[in-house]
Structure 1
Amino acid sequence: MLDILTYIALGATWTIALTLGSAAIGIVLAVPLLALARSRFAVVRGIYSAIVHVVRGVPTLVWLFLTFFGVGQLGITLTPVTASLLTLSVIATAYMAEIYRGGMQAIPAGQWEAAGALNFGRLATLRDIIGPQLFRAVSPSVATQIIGLLKDSALVSTIGVTDLVFRAGVMTQYHAHGLFMFGFAGLIYLLLSLPIALFSRSIHARITRKYAIA
């Protein structure tokens, strides 16, 4: 029995790698994507809205199949892991950009004007005034999105990535007891999500204390 549990648990390696990898890429790439949303030109803002709507409007599983099977028809071969990372990263980018946009909208425009009146440069304004407030505003939503990526990563088993779900399925085929196998996998997902939530709360509290933001 211990061998079975160990086999399933080892699938967490890909689960964690894909979750953290796609989250990191999404957190970074969402910044230039957000720049489109804040453009002075309506056409550019429209492009942003279209990208976000399309990415968020199509189920993750469909995007995964389009990436893995569809791209192959164009003569580009992707491994299951590469296709999974690419898919989850694109989805993470769209969701993170919307989270950032919501955070920016929550900050009063007058703070930019006040910073300018005090001769703060744009970089200094972002670092010392806007940044801490934005971080505090978006950190809970970012953590929630990362947990969402963790759960969505279970779909990669459908294209052959040997994650938790894939390995639980293999053990179910060999030994039955599907309730136990997938229940154990579900427990690992739960244990993986808890540190993300706790870390987010810790960072949120720390930034609040540091900058004394009410």
Structure 2
Amino acid sequence: MQDIILNIIRGLPSTIGLTIAALSIGLVLGVPLMLARISKHFWLRLTAMALITFVRSIPPIVWLFVIFFGLGSGYLRVAPFPAAVVGLGLIASAYMAEIYRGALLSIHRGQWEGAAALGMHPFRMWIDVIMPQLIRVALPAMATYAIGLLKDTAIASTIGVSEMTFYANQSSMATYRGLEVFSFVALLYIALSLPVAWMSRSIDARMRKKVSR
């Protein structure tokens, strides 16, 4: 069993790296997508809404197959790990845009009006007034999505990414000890998820304490 455990742990860096990379893409690209979604221009709102709906309507595994087997079958060669990052990052962008939008809509209009009445520059208004509240509201949903994304990285094994599930499947087929192998993998996913949940609650508590002062 020790050899099996060591074999599975080999995929731990890929699992963590894939999660961080895809989530980073989502956190960054979700912002302009959210801004387009709430734009005053109808065509921009419609385009963003259509794009978000389109991305979220297709299962993650299909996106990975399209990027890896579809694009990779032509002149553009895509390695498994970058293909998984692009696919999961694209999906994360759509979900994060909606999380941002929901958090933004929850901010009372009086916050905008108060900042404007004080003569704050729009940029400072966003940085000092709107963003801290937006992050505080969006944080629980962001943490929940991050944990879900961590689990979704398991599907990257279907295109050859050497993450934990990939090595677990190899060990299971080689030893016929599937129950022990995948039980250990399940424990690893739980161990990785708990710090994310704890960190989210800790940051949320600190932000609430800061706001209440």
Q: Same fold (TM over 0.5)?
A: yes
User: Which whole-Å deviations, capped at 9, do the CAs of 1:173-199 have from their partners, x for residues lacking one?
Assistant: 111110110111111011000000100
Provide the residue aligned with 1:77 in structure 2: 77
Rounded to whole Å, the distance in 2 between the matches of 1:67 and 1:129 is: 40
Identity of aligned residues (%): 44
For 1:87, the aligned partner's letter is G
C-alpha deviation, 1:46, in angstroms: 0.3
C-alpha deviation, 1:35, in angstroms: 1.5
**Secondary structure of residue in 1 paired with 2:5:** helix
Rounded to whole Å, the distance in 2 between the matches of 1:97 and 1:4 is: 40
- TM-score, length-normalised on structure 2? 0.97
C-alpha deviation, 1:38, in angstroms: 1.8
> Is 1:104 matched up with 2:104?
yes
- TM-score, length-normalised on structure 1? 0.97
For 1:206, the aligned partner's letter is R
Rounded to whole Å, the distance in 2 between the matches of 1:198 and 1:74 is: 44
> Is 1:120 matched up with 2:90?
no
Rounded to whole Å, the distance in 2 between the matches of 1:198 and 1:14 is: 22
Provide the residue aligned with 2:61 in structure 1: 61
8 Å CA contact 1:56, 1:95 repeated in 2: yes
8 Å CA contact 1:68, 1:80 repeated in 2: yes
> Is 1:169 matched up with 2:146?
no
For 2:208, the aligned partner's letter is T
C-alpha deviation, 1:122, in angstroms: 1.2
C-alpha deviation, 1:73, in angstroms: 3.4
User: Which whole-Å deviations, capped at 9, do the CAs of 1:144-178 have from their partners, x for residues lacking one?
Assistant: 11111101100000011111111011111111110
**Secondary structure of residue in 1 paired with 2:39:** coil
C-alpha deviation, 1:75, in angstroms: 1.5
C-alpha deviation, 1:129, in angstroms: 1.5
8 Å CA contact 1:52, 1:94 repeated in 2: yes
Rounded to whole Å, the distance in 2 between the matches of 1:148 and 1:202 is: 19
C-alpha deviation, 1:127, in angstroms: 2.0
> Is 1:142 matched up with 2:126?
no
**Secondary structure of residue in 1 paired with 2:120:** coil
Rounded to whole Å, the distance in 2 between the matches of 1:116 and 1:182 is: 56
Rounded to whole Å, the distance in 2 between the matches of 1:172 and 1:110 is: 58
Rounded to whole Å, the distance in 2 between the matches of 1:42 and 1:22 is: 29
Provide the residue aligned with 1:33 in structure 2: 33
Provide the residue aligned with 1:17 in structure 2: 17
**Secondary structure of residue in 1 paired with 2:78:** coil
Provide the residue aligned with 1:179 in structure 2: 179
Rounded to whole Å, the distance in 1 between the matches of 2:92 and 2:190 is: 20
Rounded to whole Å, the distance in 1 between the matches of 2:154 and 2:185 is: 10
C-alpha deviation, 1:74, in angstroms: 3.5
Q: Which moved more, 1:137-146 or 1:33-42?
A: 33-42
Provide the residue aligned with 2:51 in structure 1: 51
8 Å CA contact 1:9, 1:185 repeated in 2: no
8 Å CA contact 1:143, 1:200 repeated in 2: yes
Provide the residue aligned with 2:204 in structure 1: 204
